[in-house]
Structure 1
Amino acid sequence: MTLGRQLGFWLGTLAGFLAFLWLFSGVLLPFVAGIALAYLLDPVADRLERIGVPRWAAAAGIVLGLVVALIVLLILVVPLLGAQTSALIERVPSLIARVQVMVAPYFDGQFGRLLGGDTKNLSGGVTAALTQGASWVSGVVQSLWNGGQAIVSIVSVLVISPVVAAYMLIDWDRMIARIDGWLPRRHRATVRGLAAEMNAAVSGFVRGQVSVSAAMGLFYGLGLALVGLEFGLLIGLMAGVLGIIPYLGFGTGLIVGLAVALVQFWPDWHGIALVGAVFAAGQALEGWVLTPNWVGRSVGLHPVWLLFALFAFGSLFGFVGMLVAVPAAASVGVLARFALEQYLASGLYADGDPEGIRHDPDVPHE
């Protein structure tokens, strides 16, 4: 098979996969979630199998334990988060009024004169913008929840995904062996090497970063609650969830936490400083302890590339796309590095050297 036909085959396969995602994105969520769970939990099943536990028993025990832990989490945490979310929505008008009282002296003073114009209009404009933004967020959340789609998706994930994960865990090794047998014999070593690199990137990032995000969400939530910050548990867990993208969770949580602390504790700086200390300690723990040991330094997923992939796949395929975004980003990164290596080792790159010698582009030469 010529290079052109091979390229056409793989591009056609990719186009078919994307079309499948687009057509069935509305029903794929529980199945993609189940496959993702099976992928994440496969090493645990392998360890249990090595010590003599039958594969089916290991898969059933792992999934059952996960379901029980999820149910306990839902019973204990979700009502508290729901109460804090409702309280936050109800407090938005009073918080906005408090912000207006705090910023009015600055707008009415020298800062307002520097900006020029009517200072009353400036402070009123800030208040109107805050009110409109809060109303918009509340409306979006209420419409999504009242539409019923969120409830249907949650129920389908909770019911169908564990079943899919159990079946996939039982047959995971057989499926991998079957797919390996389908690889073209001529390029089997190359494809295996690329697949192993993709697996290392995905597993290293997902397993490590999910663990870091969960730990940091717990740390931020408990820390903010202990210092007395209103909605501290909600803000902390939100920072942990967003922490799947490096620095995004910390930055968002810090901004929201300090904003709430400023409104709650002003003019007492001790409470505001304690909130900042919680995030500073969390960032030190994440950057110096958790991330180096759980994620590592050689995952190969740049935060900007990951953020773009999440937005792009989420926009195209919804929440299913966001689940696929991380392995897709890792796979594209591995393929791009492989293509660059092939180019640097080819005559196409060497032909650009007048002496016919390939130089390292990072090393100066005469």
Structure 2
Amino acid sequence: MASEAPEPPLHVVQAEPPLELSEEEARRIDLTWSLVMVTGLALLFGLLSVFGGVAIPVLLGLSGAYVFNPVVSFLERHKVSRTWGTTIVFAGCTLALVGAVLYLIPVFQDEAAKLPDFFRRASTQIIPHVESLLGVSLPEFVNQRTAELGAKASELLQSAGPTAARLAASFAGNTARFVATLLGLAVVPVLGFFFLKDYPRLVGLVRELIPLRAVGLVSRRFSEVDDVLSAFVRGQLTVGSILSIIYSTGLSIAGIDMAIVIGVVAGFGNMVPYLGTTVGIMLALLGLMLSWQGPWQLAVVAGTFLVAQLSEGLFITPRIVGEKVGLTPVTVIIAILAFGELFGFVGILLAVPVGAILKVVLRVVVLRYQKTSLYTGEASRP
């Protein structure tokens, strides 16, 4: 692959040699940085509430650049230009997305076609079997409703296409909103490509704005934010990949048709603590009912989730991810609940990065407080 002509390096003003800071200066810089970060987050959410149609694609593009920057940087270290590295990454992601869609469409079609037969069997076989196991009779309306669902399932499936078309037409009726949504979705990959290609330049531009005397300490604080956030993202991606393999393998052995889909959802859903496992169990039970072959399947499914959870708690997280866990499960849950309640879906998307920033801000403020005479009880020194 022919290498491109190197671009002129971006000039970044740096303090050389590193300047020694007094405790008073370091405290002032740290507290100013903390105030700027909190104010910046408040302005960000304010902009999202006013200019969400513009801000959300930009944020998604920046998020993609942040996630894939280590891959492009790795290729760059192996003599691949940044432009070609970005192109390779985007081509790989596009192929993966297309492959996933081509795989999922027939799988969901096959599973949907099984629903009518499932409801019929539920009313004639499964419910009587459950009654014999429990030794009680379920209310008559359960049998009636199940039989009605079985009779109506085919009609529901046949009308699903026209209904979806009517919903799409209704949404498209609001032309401005429809066009804005399409443009927003279409521009995200474009923004992500250029943000990823120019990521070092963007970082350099931000660094140039930092006062020379504070550049060392402020850079260290941003590195701490990056450590917390990247530890969470990379750690959870590692855990999610391993869990997805375990779930998909076990559910495939159990004979569940959507084993890979359920495995990936349960594995990567683990990024939100306990959500992936809960959703995975529910989807696995649904798939089990649609492809029931005997009690052995239930035992295999239960064993799969038990092995996955024990492996994650005893081996995967402690030995593979290590101590650098970034954000604790409690922090993630609180951040998602709080920001989701305050800012809706956008708040959920930003909960983890905002939580990482606020964690470092709180740690810096506490650190500086613990070095004051108010905390130590010592007389202040000049």
- Select which of 81, 98, 111 maps to 1:71: 98
Residue in 2 aligned with 1:113? Answer: none
Are positions 1:208 and 2:208 aligned together? no
Contact 2:118–2:289 (CA<8 Å) still a contact in 1? no
Written as runs of structure 1 = structure 2, the 5 A alignment for 1:100-139 is: 100-101=127-128, 104=131, 109=136
Contact 1:30–1:156 (CA<8 Å) still a contact in 2? no
Deviations along 1:4-45, one digit per CA (max 9) or x if unpaired, are x95776554332111012223345444323222211111222
Q: Distance in 2 between matches of 1:320 and 1:65?
A: 27
- Select which of 192, 198, 223 maps to 1:171: 198
- Select which of 351, 355, 364 maps to 1:325: 351
Structure 1, 316-325 or 188-197: larger mean CA deviation: 316-325
SS at 2:52 equivalent: coil
Amino acid at match of 1:277: G
Q: Distance in 1 between matches of 2:335 and 2:121?
A: 35
Q: Distance in 1 between matches of 2:364 and 2:165?
A: 42
Q: Distance in 1 between matches of 2:144 and 2:212?
A: 67
Quickly say closer, same or farther: Cα 1:339–1:240, change in 2 above 3 A. same
Cα deviation for residue 306 of structure 1 reads 0.6
Q: Percent same amino acid among aligned pairs? A: 27
SS at 1:343 equivalent: helix
Deviations along 1:132-161, one digit per CA (max 9) or x if unpaired, are 9xx9xx9xxx88994559x98996677433
Q: Distance in 1 between matches of 2:367 and 2:165?
A: 46
Contact 1:258–1:276 (CA<8 Å) still a contact in 2? no
Written as runs of structure 1 = structure 2, the 5 A alignment for 1:254-273 is: 254-258=281-285, 261=288, 265=292, 268-273=294-299
Contact 1:96–1:127 (CA<8 Å) still a contact in 2? no
Gaps of 5+ in 2: 1-24, 158-162, 173-177
- Select which of 67, 71, 78 maps to 1:51: 78
Contact 1:33–1:157 (CA<8 Å) still a contact in 2? no
Per the normalisation by structure 2, the TM-score is 0.70
Cα deviation for residue 258 of structure 1 reads 4.6
Are positions 1:280 and 2:306 aligned together? yes
Q: Distance in 2 between matches of 1:88 and 1:246?
A: 32
SS at 2:271 equivalent: coil
Cα deviation for residue 298 of structure 1 reads 2.2
Residue in 1 aligned with 2:250? Answer: 223
Q: Distance in 2 between matches of 1:58 and 1:127?
A: 60
SS at 1:243 equivalent: helix
Amino acid at match of 1:193: R
Deviations along 1:53-86, one digit per CA (max 9) or x if unpaired, are 22222222222222222222222x2214432663
Residue in 2 aligned with 1:116? Answer: none
- Select which of 201, 210, 221 maps to 1:194: 221
Residue in 1 aligned with 2:50? Answer: 23
